[in-house]
A = this chain, B = another copy of it.
Amino acid sequence: MSQAPEPVRDLDWAPERARAFADGAADLWEELLRRLPELPVRRRWSAEDVRNAVAIPVPDEPMADEALLAYLRDVVFEWSAYLGHPRFLAYISGAGTVPGAAADLLAAGLNMNAGGWQLAPSAIEIEVALTRFFANEMFGLPEGAGGLIVSGGAMANFVALKAARDRRAGWDVRNEGILAGPQLGLYLSTETHVVSDRAADMLGIGWANVRHVSVDDGSRMRVDELRAQIARDRETGIRPFAVVGTAGTVSTGAIDALGDIADVCADEGLWFHVDAAYGGPAMLAEDLRPLFAGIERADSIAFDPHKWLYTPHSGGCVLLRDFSLLQGSFDAQPSYIHQDREVTHAGLDLGRYGPQFSRSFWALKVWVSLLAHGRSAYGRRISHDAELARYLGARVEEHPAFELAGPVGLSICCFRFVPPDLPEGSGREAYLSVLNERLMAEMQVDGRVFLSNAVLGDRFVLRVCVVNFRTEAQDMDAVLEVAEELGSKIDGELRPEDLR
Contacts and interface: CB of A to CB of B under 8 A. Distances in A.
Contacts of A104: 104-105, 107-108
B356 A99 contact: no
Given A18-B98, A102-B22, A178-B177, A59 B374 contact: yes
Interface in A281-313: 304, 306, 310, 312-313
Interface residues of A, number: 200
Contacts of A9: 469
A363 to B, nearest CB: 11
Interface in A38-85: 42, 45-48, 50-51, 53-56, 58-63, 65, 68, 71-72, 75-76, 79-84
A211 to B, nearest CB: 14
Interface stretch (A220-228, A240-248, A319-327, A365-373): A365-373
A305 to B, nearest CB: 11
Interface stretch (A264-272, A400-408, A451-459): A451-459
Interface stretch (A120-128, A139-147, A423-431, A492-500): A120-128
A463 to B, nearest CB: 7
Contacts of A152: 356-360
Given A51-B347, A204-B177, A340-B437, A83 B112 contact: yes
Given A47-B345, A206-B173, A2 B398 contact: yes
B313 A441 contact: no
Contacts of A118: 42, 81, 444
Contacts of A30: 15-16, 18-19, 22
Interface string A184-210: 000000000111011011111111110
In the complex, the 5 A-B pairs of residues with the closest C-beta atoms, listed nearest first = A204-B204, A177-B206, A47-B347, A96-B111, A4-B473
